[in-house]
């Protein structure tokens, strides 16, 4: 696999979860984002850390 494929596998369900938020939560979003094996890719992003950092920047209290 390549890095783009791994990223897509991790994020492809997130937009649906955000649109149907009443049936999902932050833990579920983080679970999907954590499927990206950042340790496999040099300089690859840690999607959960990025997500949590953005939540904090926008003032969300439960940001990991």
Three-class SS of 1-64:
CCHHHHHHHHHCCHHHHHHCHHHCCHHHHHHHHCCCCHHHCCCCCCHHHHHHHHHHHCCCCCCC
62 band by pLDDT with thresholds 50, 70 and 90: confident
64 band by pLDDT with thresholds 50, 70 and 90: low
- Confidence (pLDDT) at 12: 94
- Confidence (pLDDT) at 8: 93
1 band by pLDDT with thresholds 50, 70 and 90: low
- Its pTM stands at 0.82
- Which tens digits make up the pLDDT trace of 10-50? 999 999 999 999 999 999 999 999 999 888 888 889 999 99
């Amino acid at each position: 696999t390549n890095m783009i494929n791994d990223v897509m596998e991790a994020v492809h369900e997130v937009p649906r979860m955000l649109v149907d938020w009443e049936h999902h939560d932050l833990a579920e979003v983080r679970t999907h984002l954590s499927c990206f094996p950042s340790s496999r890719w040099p300089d690859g992003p840690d999607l959960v850390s990025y997500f949590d950092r953005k939540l904090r920047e926008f003032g969300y209290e439960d940001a990991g």
